[in-house]
Amino acid sequence: MCMNLRRFCSCGRNSAYLSCRDNLLPAEILVNLFCPECRPGSIRDDAMLQDCGWVLEYDVDRAQAYFTGRGIRSQATPVFIFDAGYLSWQGLAPGDQEVNTRLHQRLAPLIEQDLALYLKSLRSEWVAHVTRLKAAGWRKAQAT
């Protein structure tokens, strides 16, 4: 089970789709989300994580309380919260959900014409997308 939500950044010009593993952390644990246009000049590593210009700021103390309450022994650092998927991008990057939707829409006409080609195209285009994310340095893409 995974609760997915869309969140606008501080300046409101961009948004990201987020997912919360096991619904363990409430969305407000992410106290601030900054896009590359509104990111702060200095990054506090104890509360923030950067990913390709985006910055996620967490309430690590509250996150720690949730982890302790659920018997998760790891320390609630921004890196752990993000990498373990407790409050992280849905997919591999902030816009993945939209990319995926657009890709399905674009290829949809193929479903009736040639289902095998549809599935093959879907797969190869997604693989190419992930390769681009990886090359751009997105954190979750590095692990794929």
User: Which chain residues interact with Zn ion by CB under 5 A?
Assistant: 9, 11, 13, 35, 37-38
Indicate the residue among 58 and 67 with the shorter CB distance to Zn ion.
Answer: 58
Cβ distance 89 to 5 under 8 Å? no
| Nearest-approach distance from CB 60 to Zn ion, in angstroms | 22
Indicate the residue among 37 and 114 with the shorter CB distance to Zn ion.
Answer: 37
Residues whose CB is less than 8 angstroms from the CB of residue 61 and which lie 6 or more positions away in sequence, other chains included:
76
Cβ distance 74 to 84 under 8 Å? yes
Indicate the residue among 16 and 76 with the shorter CB distance to Zn ion.
Answer: 16
| Nearest-approach distance from CB 73 to Zn ion, in angstroms | 35
Going through 2-144 in order, the beta strands assigned E by DSSP cover 2-8, 15-21, 30-34, 48-51, 54-58, 88-89
| Nearest-approach distance from CB 12 to Zn ion, in angstroms | 7
